[in-house]
Structure 1
C-alpha cells in the first residue's frame, strides 16, 4: 500500500530531479528518500501516490536524456496509446552518436550517426514518427523480443492504421540497418486481421512450422452466419483459437461454449491455446495441429 501522509507537494505533481528539488529547498534529502517518493531512475523521482506506468517513466527519462534524444520503439508506441509495454520495461531512446551520455539502469539507448530523425516534440525531448518508431521495433534485437512477438506488434500497428504497410515495405526494401533482415521478414508476414498480439504470435508460430492458417475466417452454414474463427484450416474444418485471461471471466466462458458448440455441430474441431501453452509449450501446439491435419492429408 502506498504511503500518502499529510504533505504539501507544492509543484511536485510528476517526475522531477531529486538533486535539484533538494538544492532548491523544495524538500529535504530525508523526505526525498522517504516513502513519500519513489525513484524511477538515478536522480529521477516521483511522488509515491502517482501510479507508475511506462508513459510516466518515459516522462521521467526525458528529464535526463541528452539534447537531440528521440523516444522510439515500444516506448513511443506506449506514449501514442498502444499497450506494448509493462511499466518496468526499459525506456527506449535514440541518441546522437556524439552525445556524451552513459546509459542508466532502466534505459535502452541506441546511438545513430543519422541526423534529422523524423520526430515531433514531446515532453522535454522528441517522439519518433510512427514509421520510424515501427522500424525501431522491427530491427531492435537487443531487447530479445521473439520474432512472433515482433510480428504481433506490427500487426497491431497496422490494425489501428498507425503505420502504412506499403510505406513500410518501401522503407525496409533498400536499407541496410542492423536487424533489417528480420524487419523484412516481419513485414512480409504481417497481417492486421488478428485481433490481439498473442493471436498474431500463434499465427506466426504455425507459419514457421509450415502451416498456413487463415486469420479471422468468417464461416456460414447453409447461409446462416456461424461466426469468425481466430485461425482456421477451412479444408480440414479445424480452428485454432487463443483464449486469454479474459475468456475465463464473467459470461465469456458460456459465450465461448455456445459458439463452439454451434461450430462443432457443423463439423468443426477446435484446438484451444492458453497463455501458458503459447509461451510455455509451443511445441505441443504444433504437435496438436499436426496430429489433426497430417492424418487427413495422408488419407487423401
Structure 2
C-alpha cells in the first residue's frame, strides 16, 4: 500500500492522518467534513482519519494511530480490538468518536495525551504485537481484557468474535485465568469463557445465547443445518435438534423484501415438518419482551407427554 502524501483534488491525504495533519497541511475543513459525510473518510477515533479507499487491515489501522500514541504506550482494550478487526464500540461512540485506549508498559506511567484514554496494566512481552510500527495488545490479551472490562453482553459478543476471527479458544482463555487472579472483572470473564464459541455469527446472536443460559435453559446448538431430502438446505441460528425447536435472530438484514420472502418460505417448510420457530428481534433483550421469547423456549422444550403413570 502506498502511504505517501499523495493528494486528491480535495487536498486530502491518501493515507491515515490526524488532526495535527489537518492543521499542518492546511486541509480544508469543509472538504474534510464532506468527505466524512459521504463515507470517503472515516473517523474511528478522536483526531484520527482513515480514507475509505486504502486497505483496511490491522497494519493500516495500527498505522493510523502512530501519531496519536505516546512512546511506551500500547494500544489496548476496544481500540486494540478495532485494530484486530473487531468492533467493540457502542453506536453512540460511532457517532461521537471515542479516545484511543492505551496502557503503559511496565515501568512507565499512563499517558495523559489529548485524544487518548491512558491506563496502566501489567503487560508482559507476549501480550504485545507490533503492527504498522505501533505496539498493540495481542488478540488473546485484548480478549481477556475486554472479557473483564465490558458490560456482560458486550463482553460475550467480543469473546465470540475473537474466537471466530483469531482462534482464541476456551482452552487458551482458561489457561490465562491464573494471571488475572484478583483483577476486577475476572469473575465475569471466568463465567463467560465456557460459553465462548466461534459459531455465533453476530453480536446479537451472542446476546441470545447468553440470555438463554442466564434463564437456566439448556444451551442450543449454533448454526444447525436441516436436510431436505438428504441435502443440507436450511441453516438455523440456534436449534435443539431432538425437540425440533429453532431460535432465530432477525437483524436489520432481514428487513428487505427478498430476505423476508425467503424467511417465510424457509420457516413455513420447517413448521410443516414439525419445527417450532422462535424469532428474536433487536428490541427483545429487556423487560417483558425478553421474558416472552425465553418463555416460548421453555414451553417448547417442556414435554407434552410422559410415559410415567403416577
TM-score after normalising by structure 2: 0.73
Within the alignment, does 1:152 sit opposite 2:162 as a pair? no
Q: Distance in 1 between matches of 2:244 and 2:83?
A: 41
Q: Evaluate the alpha carbon distance shift between residue 115 and residue 172 of structure 1 in structure 2; reply closer, same or farther with a 3 A threshold.
A: closer
Within the alignment, does 1:99 sit opposite 2:109 as a pair? yes
Give the match for residue 175 of structure 2. 170
Q: Evaluate the alpha carbon distance shift between residue 90 and residue 46 of structure 1 in structure 2; reply closer, same or farther with a 3 A threshold.
A: closer
Give the match for residue 35 of structure 1. 30
Q: Evaluate the alpha carbon distance shift between residue 12 and residue 203 of structure 1 in structure 2; reply closer, same or farther with a 3 A threshold.
A: closer
Q: Evaluate the alpha carbon distance shift between residue 92 and residue 84 of structure 1 in structure 2; reply closer, same or farther with a 3 A threshold.
A: same
Within the alignment, does 1:75 sit opposite 2:85 as a pair? no
**Which stretches in structure 2 are left out of the alignment for 5+ residues?**
1-7, 34-42
Q: Evaluate the alpha carbon distance shift between residue 125 and residue 235 of structure 1 in structure 2; reply closer, same or farther with a 3 A threshold.
A: same
Contact residue 54 and residue 75 of structure 1 kept, 8 A: no
Q: Secondary structure, in 3 states, of the residue corresponding to 1:267? A: coil
Q: Evaluate the alpha carbon distance shift between residue 296 and residue 62 of structure 1 in structure 2; reply closer, same or farther with a 3 A threshold.
A: farther
Q: Distance in 1 between matches of 2:194 and 2:76?
A: 22
Q: Distance in 2 between matches of 1:258 and 1:14?
A: 46
Q: Count matched residues.
A: 282
Bigger shift: residues 223-232 or 148-157: 223-232
Q: Evaluate the alpha carbon distance shift between residue 268 and residue 188 of structure 1 in structure 2; reply closer, same or farther with a 3 A threshold.
A: same
Within the alignment, does 1:14 sit opposite 2:23 as a pair? no
Within the alignment, does 1:276 sit opposite 2:283 as a pair? yes
The equivalent position to 1:288 in structure 2, one of 288, 296, 306, is 296
How far did residue 225 of structure 1 move?
4.4
Q: Evaluate the alpha carbon distance shift between residue 297 and residue 211 of structure 1 in structure 2; reply closer, same or farther with a 3 A threshold.
A: farther
**Which stretches in structure 1 are left out of the alignment for 5+ residues?**
none
Q: Distance in 1 between matches of 2:76 and 2:149?
A: 11
Contact residue 58 and residue 75 of structure 1 kept, 8 A: no
How far did residue 215 of structure 1 move?
2.0
How far did residue 171 of structure 1 move?
0.8
How far did residue 45 of structure 1 move?
6.2
Q: Distance in 2 between matches of 1:57 and 1:209?
A: 39
Give the match for residue 116 of structure 1. 125
Give the match for residue 202 of structure 1. 208
How far did residue 40 of structure 1 move?
7.8
How far did residue 84 of structure 1 move?
4.1
Q: Distance in 2 between matches of 1:183 and 1:297?
A: 40
Q: Distance in 2 between matches of 1:45 and 1:82?
A: 18
Cα RMSD, aligned residues only = 3.8
How far did residue 243 of structure 1 move?
0.9
Bigger shift: residues 171-180 or 88-97: 88-97
